């Protein structure tokens, strides 16, 4: 009995040294930001989280290449059907994921009525994107940006139930409102590089945003000593299961 107790104690000691327990602060950081609460900017200074809505689209691969070449990480808030079927850009999404960019949800169909939809309708919008992304990249996201930044009605309570971190923005590039890249640049210059890092609203569906604004932002960040990270990373989260992603089961679907 004495030998058995000593052996058990030794095994416990080895296990504890091989897999140290996380202290409370480490556990909080690993847990990431809370679900169902609106997040507008990074959790600390010195970062810029380039975030793009409405894809995937014909410019997705170009954007992935531009970000990767510039040493930047981006976040892609993708839809299922807004600019064609998500499966049509399967390779580009896989490349983005493999390159360490974050894939997040922007709903299945980008409904204008998102802020007034029922919990059941909202859930369907989110779960359809989840399933497609599990089929394409093998995981489902835990981050989302609501269409039109709508967070009223049942949105936040439903996102909390589904475990989604709700991201809006603190700098609007205005590309959706016909602002030129130069006008968008002025928005970033006006916002400045101090304070907690920015999470901008931009869209990968505009060639000018992909080809002109993004390279400028990469240079602007470097000039201001800002680290270009994903939204999850700028919030102290990881690009892992339990962080920016959750497990799911593929169902073999390959079309919308």
Choose the catalytic residue: 101, 110, 198, 203: 203
2 is catalytic: no
Choose the catalytic residue: 53, 54, 175, 237: 53
- Nearest partner of 165 among 253, 69, 96, 233, judged by Cα: 233
Query: What are the beta bridge partners of residue 45?
Result: 196
53 is catalytic: yes
Provide the annotated active-site residues. Answer: 53, 203
């Amino acid at each position: 009995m004495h030998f058995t107790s000593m052996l058990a104690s030794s095994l416990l000691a080895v296990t504890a040294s091989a897999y140290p327990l996380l202290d409370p602060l480490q556990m909080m950081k690993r847990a990431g930001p809370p679900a169902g609460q609106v997040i507008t900017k990074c959790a600390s200074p010195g970062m810029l989280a380039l975030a793009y809505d409405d894809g995937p689209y014909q410019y997705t691969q170009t954007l992935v290449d531009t970000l990767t070449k510039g040493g930047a990480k981006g976040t892609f808030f993708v839809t299922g059907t807004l600019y064609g079927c998500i499966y049509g850009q399967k390779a580009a999404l896989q490349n983005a994921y493999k390159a360490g960019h974050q894939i997040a949800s922007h709903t299945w169909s980008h409904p204008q009525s998102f802020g007034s939809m029922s919990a059941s309708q909202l859930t369907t919008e989110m779960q359809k994107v989840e399933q497609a992304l599990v089929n394409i990249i093998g995981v489902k996201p835990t981050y989302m940006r609501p269409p039109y930044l709508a967070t009223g009605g049942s949105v936040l309570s439903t996102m909390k139930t589904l475990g989604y971190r709700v991201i809006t923005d603190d700098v609007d590039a205005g590309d959706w409102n016909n602002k030129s890249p130069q006008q968008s640049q002025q928005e970033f210059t006006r916002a400045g590089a101090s304070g907690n890092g920015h999470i901008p609203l931009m869209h990968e569906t505009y060639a000018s945003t992909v080809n002109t604004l993004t390279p400028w932002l990469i240079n602007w960040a470097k000039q201001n000593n800002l680290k270009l990270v994903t939204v999850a990373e700028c919030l102290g989260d990881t690009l892992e299961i339990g962080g920016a992603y959750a497990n799911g089961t593929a169902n073999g679907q390959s079309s919308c």
